Structure 1
Amino acid sequence: MTLANGTLEYSLIRIGLRHLIWLLALLSALVSLGSTLYASYQAQNELLVEKTLQANQAYATKLASTVEDFIQSSWQRLAYSARQLQDGLDNPDILQSEVDRLWRQISGFNTVVAVNAQGLVRATSPESIPLIGRILSSPGALEALKERRPLVSRPYISATNNLVVFVSYPIVTEEGQYLGYIGGSLYLKKTNQLHELFGEHWRPADIHLYVVDLKHHLIYDSSTDSKLGEVVEHNPVLDALGQREYGQLNHSGSLAGYAAITSAGWGVVVESSANAIYADLETNVWHIFYDAMPLVVLGLLAGYLLAFLIARPLNCLAQTARNMDGEGALEQVYLVQPWYFEVAQLRQSMLAGIGLLHQKVPSVPVSNLIDPVTGLKSQQGLIAILDTWQESRSFSIIALAIDGCAEISNQDAKDHAMGQVAQLMRESARATDVLCRFKDDVLLALLPGTSLADASRVAERLRLRVELADIVVAGVGVTLLLGVSYWSLTTEISVQVIVQTVVQALEEAQQQGRRNFVITPIA
């Protein structure tokens, strides 16, 4: 039952302080655990991403350095052969001997050719490749004739129908006359030293390695050979590679490290998927969760025990407060152990209040304060309460009687009906309300801190509840007469007058007919 001012009656409040404290502890533990897991996830995520980027960059840099050494070494050997052919480009035996030596010495080259200034092939190794006497028109050959400097070509289809890159070195006389070039081709889809360099380092299965030239032509791809020679488009890593010699980039769920092979104009990119990191992160977070659970459970048990210890003395005081004028109330309050400040203050206040209450009714036995028929306070108990409240609080009073009660001759039936009405009053009352039997046929309810308007609504709901209970006397359903009044600390009229006033209100309700109540304000 809820009053108009929003106060919940005691009978509807089921949750106690102990449960509230424990729920607060549970919420705090869950929030703390969740915050810890989230912070751990974020910190580990940043750490793992950074370490992965650094590892991929280190891998790319190391591989780029290895390939750079291979190209420089190849140019040195080609340069030596170019010097040997300064005076012997027209001698077939010398030419063939030198290209054979170079082909056998540098296992990285799949073919070696010597070409004159007109682009005519003068010697080739191995000799099984039918190129001698042909003019090469492939992009690598034309670029070597045009640039007349050490270079590495972009990928192209050679005269032998292989996808290759061509490493060349010019043949120049001591006087500076350009005679041609000597060079070796590296087949991108066949085994050679360059291919082995790219694949010789161990790497996890989720690592993707690829190499491109300045125009983003794919030279090597660890996942497939089918796209070699194609242009890699819309790749932010390659865009970054064009601006810096090395670095790292986190983009679109990919963690990439890259490094440039400066002499060849190539770039090495090492990528790994962020999904693998997220899987590791999830595993780590679950491990943290499982490791933390024993402490969380212990904390919750400790919180529950602490909630019990905090709430126990307050609960004892609350139980005693419901019956402060009963037998043993003083002893019950004395037994409460005040181990913290608030309980000590409440205990002291209750002891003082109970002592004052007992001083007001020192000579009245407890048995005389309770009506034996209804179980409510008797008229003597009401007088003691009113004497105390007159000095300390404002309250409303509801008086009720059964319609036609005076006409009922069967006293047992009348008492039974009054007892049932009293039970309904108890079920609807708050812990602070006082219920009593004022006369044989009049029951009273004192509602501390309740306005006249709120008390009127409570009275109306009580009347409806009695009617719904189907209480029958002499074959007739019981209905109520109700009178409501109010007394405040500023009222000049005594509390005794309010009782008489509200009883008079009952008589007025009787004159107006059945099922009525009268509101009588007190100035």
Structure 2
Amino acid sequence: MDFTRWLPRRLSPQKVNLRRLILALTICSAFIPFANTFYASYTVQRQQLIDTTLEANHAYATKLASSTEDFLQSALQQLDYAAQVIATHMDDAPRLQEETARLQLQSRSFNSVGIFDAGGVVLATSPATLKITGRKVDSEGVRKSLAARGPVISDPYLSAAGNFIVFISQPIFARDGRYLGMVAGSIYLKQENILDQLLGTHFYEDGSYIYVVDRGKRIIYHPDNQRVGNVLAGNAAADEIAAGHGGKSLVINSQGVETLAGFAVVPSTGWGIVAQRPQEATLAPLHALMRTVLYKTLPVAVLTLLAICWSARRIARPLQLLANGARTMDKPSTDQTIRAVKSWYFESHELKKAMLIGIGLLQKNISKLREDVNTDPLTGLGNRRYLNAEVAGFQAQETPFAVIAIDIDHFKRVNDSHGHDAGDAVLRQLAAQMREISRADDIACRVGGEEFLLLLPKVPLHRAAQVAERLRREIEANELPVVGRITISLGVSCWPGGEASTRSVFKQADAMLYQAKRNGRNRVAVYEAPRAQD
């Protein structure tokens, strides 16, 4: 009976088997360095690309700012030369008209050119389609130039004709120093102009582009002409330009796109030229490269994973089988199971050897313990526990059996007259003779001081009575040292008999034993089942 079922059971944490542990550790040891290297490589290259792009855009913006400054200075020089020529011909209208046409058409630096007198009246203009000759112009650029009486590059403003322009002018002085007026060129920012030629040819198809803002963060050039005139808010590059600084930084544009911007300031105007490229476009080649690396390493990774799984199984298999054997070490078949384990590496081989030695000792101790538990130590016969187990087996298999109950006559007298050692000798002698008359399947037990039982499986009642009589005669005929002759009384019964329970057959045999004693001892009494009455 398993008494451990009444003991409280402790909940033990779930254990990880060795195969999974090896697999997990190996995969982690392979995957983590690979992932770390992959991530570190990506991070370094990503930052390098960003830094390179920022530096390139800054250098490019600086170059364009320098080119724009050169253009503006060149435009001022053109106008200055024209002012010196015009100074002696302020009253010659055809000459003035000729000079404005030359300035407007020769270099194409300006969308329009005009000559103004000291009061702001237009003396000549090109193209003639403007039709403002003879009129006084009171625009922001004209006012500023007349007031300055020097070279002027105006901030962008909306002209009276509705053009968003930059006004560039040079004063006209007579030889005696009198201020005669000015010659000026206008750049129409929302029409095709010199800035388009200077900056527009550098527009990239990957989303990179150039735009220009003035000191007020107003866009004065943009590839999308509709954006010209808009004021940028929340733009880091525009903020730096407004403060007069050039540089490079990550900028989120008005569309919410992260861009890598380099920017530089045009010294004479304070304009800022911004060269920017979407960060996504910058990193796209890196992402494609990393995907290619990943795709090319994936087959190798899969093969490696399969090899790891196979190796983990090969390594863990012997230990798993040994662990399974350790759970059933008390079973006789475990020894052969352990011997069949193929321990192909040193540690499992040594563990297998140790387990076989341990199993041998354990089986030996278990056998000895079972023998001690089921055996009467004095006679070597089975005890009551052994008897109960055998009877349960007969009953489970419905095996009929006969019972012979045996008791030594006047055994107390033997102990009192000759001592307990002599009594023990009598008991051992009876046990020996019971074994002599028993078959291999018969069950001989000592169940009390001088009480014995003999179970005869598959033996009918009359045959059991014959066995009992034979044992009685042999005991009676045998003379023992010191004690002399002894006799025994026997009771015989059989199962199944009149009762269905096995317990009843022992009661019947016991009753027959006492009947034999009442009838004078040294005899056999056989239980006869009552016959059914007609």
> Offset of 1:331 from its aligned partner?
10
Structure 2 residue aligned with 1:166: 167
Sort the Cα spacing of 1:333 and 1:155 in 2 relative to 1 into closer, same or farther, 3 A: same
Structure 2 residue aligned with 1:258: 263
Taking the aligned partners of 2:388 and 2:338, their CA distance within structure 1 comes to 42
> Offset of 1:233 from its aligned partner?
2.9
Sort the Cα spacing of 1:99 and 1:346 in 2 relative to 1 into closer, same or farther, 3 A: same
Are 1:235 and 2:242 matched, yes or no? no
Q: What RMSD in Å do the two structures reach over aligned CA positions?
A: 4.2
Sort the Cα spacing of 1:326 and 1:112 in 2 relative to 1 into closer, same or farther, 3 A: same
Listed as ranges, the matches of 1:87-236 within 5 Å are 87-223=88-224, 225-236=225-236
> Offset of 1:168 from its aligned partner?
0.8
Are 1:309 and 2:322 matched, yes or no? no
Larger deviation: 120-129 or 275-284?
Answer: 275-284
Listed as ranges, the matches of 1:272-351 within 5 Å are 272-277=277-282, 282-321=287-326, 322-323=328-329, 326=332, 329=335, 333=339, 336-337=342-343, 339-340=345-346, 342-343=347-348, 345-351=350-356
TM superposition score normalised by structure 2: 0.61
Q: Is the 8 A contact 2:49 2:282 kept in 1?
A: yes
Structure 2 residue aligned with 1:491: none
Query: Relative contact order: is structure 1 or structure 2 higher (C-alpha 8 Å, sep ≥ 6)?
Result: 1
> Offset of 1:155 from its aligned partner?
2.0
Larger deviation: 195-204 or 141-150?
Answer: 195-204
Deviations 1:349-382 (A, max 9, x none): 3354356558x57xxxxxxxxxxxxxxx8x6563
Taking the aligned partners of 2:216 and 2:340, their CA distance within structure 1 comes to 93
Taking the aligned partners of 2:393 and 2:360, their CA distance within structure 1 comes to 42
Are 1:248 and 2:248 matched, yes or no? yes
Taking the aligned partners of 2:88 and 2:261, their CA distance within structure 1 comes to 49
Structure 2 residue aligned with 1:271: 276
> Offset of 1:67 from its aligned partner?
2.0
Q: Is the 8 A contact 2:23 2:312 kept in 1?
A: yes
Taking the aligned partners of 1:197 and 1:323, their CA distance within structure 2 comes to 92
Q: How many percent of aligned residue pairs carry the same amino acid?
A: 35
Q: Is the 8 A contact 1:110 1:192 kept in 2?
A: yes
Structure 2 residue aligned with 1:425: none
> Offset of 1:244 from its aligned partner?
4.7
Sort the Cα spacing of 1:97 and 1:401 in 2 relative to 1 into closer, same or farther, 3 A: farther
Taking the aligned partners of 1:440 and 1:261, their CA distance within structure 2 comes to 120
Q: Secondary structure at the match of 2:291?
A: helix
Amino acid of the structure 1 residue aligned with 2:308: G
Q: Is the 8 A contact 2:200 2:210 kept in 1?
A: no
Sort the Cα spacing of 1:414 and 1:218 in 2 relative to 1 into closer, same or farther, 3 A: farther
Q: Is the 8 A contact 2:217 2:242 kept in 1?
A: no
Larger deviation: 255-264 or 316-325?
Answer: 316-325
Sort the Cα spacing of 1:232 and 1:176 in 2 relative to 1 into closer, same or farther, 3 A: farther
Deviations 1:205-244 (A, max 9, x none): 4124321212222211112x23423333332211112335
Q: Unmatched 5+ residue regions in structure 1?
A: 362-376, 387-399, 416-438, 442-473, 477-523
> Offset of 1:333 from its aligned partner?
4.8
Q: Is the 8 A contact 1:18 1:311 kept in 2?
A: yes
Taking the aligned partners of 2:321 and 2:392, their CA distance within structure 1 comes to 46
Taking the aligned partners of 1:414 and 1:283, their CA distance within structure 2 comes to 82
TM superposition score normalised by structure 1: 0.63
Larger deviation: 54-63 or 110-119?
Answer: 54-63
Q: Secondary structure at the match of 2:128?
A: coil
> Offset of 1:46 from its aligned partner?
2.0
Give the number of the structure whose alpha-carbon radius of gyration is greater.
2
Sort the Cα spacing of 1:246 and 1:134 in 2 relative to 1 into closer, same or farther, 3 A: same
Structure 2 residue aligned with 1:444: none
Q: Is the 8 A contact 1:317 1:336 kept in 2?
A: no
Structure 1 residue aligned with 2:507: none
Structure 2 residue aligned with 1:382: 370
Q: Is the 8 A contact 2:215 2:270 kept in 1?
A: yes
Amino acid of the structure 2 residue aligned with 1:238: A
Structure 2 residue aligned with 1:86: 87
Structure 1 residue aligned with 2:405: none
Taking the aligned partners of 2:444 and 2:179, their CA distance within structure 1 comes to 137
Taking the aligned partners of 1:174 and 1:52, their CA distance within structure 2 comes to 53
Q: Secondary structure at the match of 1:169?
A: strand
Sort the Cα spacing of 1:316 and 1:262 in 2 relative to 1 into closer, same or farther, 3 A: same
> Offset of 1:36 from its aligned partner?
4.3
> Offset of 1:406 from its aligned partner?
7.0
Structure 2 residue aligned with 1:66: 67
Deviations 1:86-117 (A, max 9, x none): 33323334433322322232212122111122
Taking the aligned partners of 2:87 and 2:64, their CA distance within structure 1 comes to 35
Taking the aligned partners of 2:262 and 2:390, their CA distance within structure 1 comes to 98
Q: Unmatched 5+ residue regions in structure 2?
A: 253-257, 375-384, 401-442, 446-498, 502-534
Amino acid of the structure 2 residue aligned with 1:237: A
Sort the Cα spacing of 1:413 and 1:258 in 2 relative to 1 into closer, same or farther, 3 A: farther
> Offset of 1:143 from its aligned partner?
0.9
